[in-house]
């Protein structure tokens, strides 16, 4: 296929049925690239499409000072091209991006490898855990640090609930923000939660203290075999009683033996990465793709 087959399609003209069929059959499919999910996380997104939706690439963009640029939205770790592209197709798509936008800082999916040409790449790390073994086998791979944390959690007589509401989660999140989120960000998150919960695509797990206080919570969203640990929150009490270790361990126990891939979304923060690695998660590499061809007077433009 030659480069003329790649078409820029504005959001209003995207055939979302064909888009989602393309994703359904893609070996590298991710929930982030589903049309409904993109609608939640972006005010507007356009797309590059090759042929009759044989390959697709969402374009998540913003405008600032009259300049349109690509950025990586919040609550969205990876995007890029779907299904898994050949190097030549990847090169064609990324050259098209380079020629259409003056600035980009986006994350490609793990199955889209770097290619020579436009832009630069930075390697990033995700952490993953297959749950198809028994709980006993999975737990045997926990680190000593994680096992110690779980023993401490046992002493606090914590309890797990696997169906807390979006409203309860957002209220808890607002009260215990570890990373600053705007009201708009919280509305976006609530919208994702509400859609996923009403369509049985996800669950919110909550950990309650012995005094029946919510002290940790996490939202897991499923797309085919992949279950993504999309968002979490911890109170001061939850940190003290190791509630998040307890929550993840109980989730693993509940889903052990299923053909699920638990996607922790990784972390470039050492302490958070240690939490996930402690459950036996292994690294998966993906790449940030970026370039900056802005005029000299606005080179500092970022998200």
- Cα-based torsion angle of the residue sequence 212, 217, 221, 226 in order, rounded to the nearest 10 degrees: -110
pLDDT range class, residue 296, cuts 50, 70, 90: confident
Distance separating alpha carbons of residues 225 and 258, to the nearest angstrom? 9
Total Cβ atoms within 10 A of residue 198: 10
Distance separating alpha carbons of residues 284 and 87, to the nearest angstrom? 19
pLDDT of residue 268: 65
Q: What is the pLDDT of residues 227-249, one digit of tens each?
A: 999 999 999 999 999 999 999 99
Closest CA to 185 of 53, 13, 303: 303
CA angle 199, 159, 189 (to 5 degrees): 35
pLDDT of residue 130: 97
Q: What is the pTM of this model?
A: 0.92
- For the chain, domain boundaries: 3-124+286-298, 132-259
Specify the CATH architecture of the domain 3-124+286-298.
3-Layer(aba) Sandwich (3.40)
pLDDT of residue 177: 80
Rg (CA), the chain: 20
The yes-or-no verdict on residue 4 having pLDDT over 70 is: no
At the topology level of CATH, where does 132-259 sit?
A: Aminopeptidase (3.40.630)
Residue with tokens 């802005």, as numbered in its chain: 294
CB 250 within 8 A of CB 91: no
- Mean pLDDT across 120-149: 96
The tokens of 29 are what?
A: 């499919």
Q: What is the pLDDT of residues 23-51, one digit of tens each?
A: 999 999 999 999 999 999 999 999 999 99
Distance set, CA 174 to CA 40, 189, 195, 213, 236 (Å): 19, 11, 20, 16, 13
CB 98 within 8 A of CB 54: no
- Mean pLDDT across 2-17: 88
């Amino acid at each position: 296929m030659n480069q003329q087959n790649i078409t820029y399609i504005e959001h209003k003209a995207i055939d979302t049925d064909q888009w989602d069929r393309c994703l359904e059959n893609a070996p590298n499919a991710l929930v982030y690239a589903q049309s409904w999910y993109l609608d939640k996380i972006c005010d507007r997104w356009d797309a590059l499409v090759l042929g009759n939706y044989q390959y697709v690439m969402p374009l998540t963009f913003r405008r600032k000072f009259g300049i349109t640029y690509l950025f990586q939205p919040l609550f969205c770790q990876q995007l890029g091209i779907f299904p898994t592209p050949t190097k030549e197709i990847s090169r064609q798509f990324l050259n098209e991006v380079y020629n259409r936008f003056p600035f980009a800082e986006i994350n490609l999916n793990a199955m889209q490898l770097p290619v020579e040409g436009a832009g630069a790449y930075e390697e990033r790390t995700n952490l993953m855990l297959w749950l198809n073994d028994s709980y006993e086998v999975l737990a045997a791979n926990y680190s000593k640090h994680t096992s110690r944390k779980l023993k401490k959690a046992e002493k606090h007589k914590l309890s797990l609930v696997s169906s807390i509401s979006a409203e309860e989660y957002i209220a808890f999140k607002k009260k215990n923000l570890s990373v600053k989120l705007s009201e708009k960000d919280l509305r976006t998150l609530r919208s994702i939660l509400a859609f996923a919960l009403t369509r049985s695509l996800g669950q919110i797990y909550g950990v309650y203290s012995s005094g029946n206080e919510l002290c940790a919570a996490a939202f897991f969203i499923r797309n085919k075999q992949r279950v993504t640990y999309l968002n979490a929150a911890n109170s001061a009490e939850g940190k003290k009683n190791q509630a998040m270790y307890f929550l993840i361990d109980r989730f693993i126990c509940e889903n052990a033996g299923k053909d699920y891939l638990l996607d922790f979304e990784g972390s470039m923060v050492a302490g958070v990465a240690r939490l996930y690695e402690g459950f036996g998660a292994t690294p998966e590499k993906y790449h940030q793709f970026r370039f900056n061809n802005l005029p000299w007077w606005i080179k500092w433009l970022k998200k």
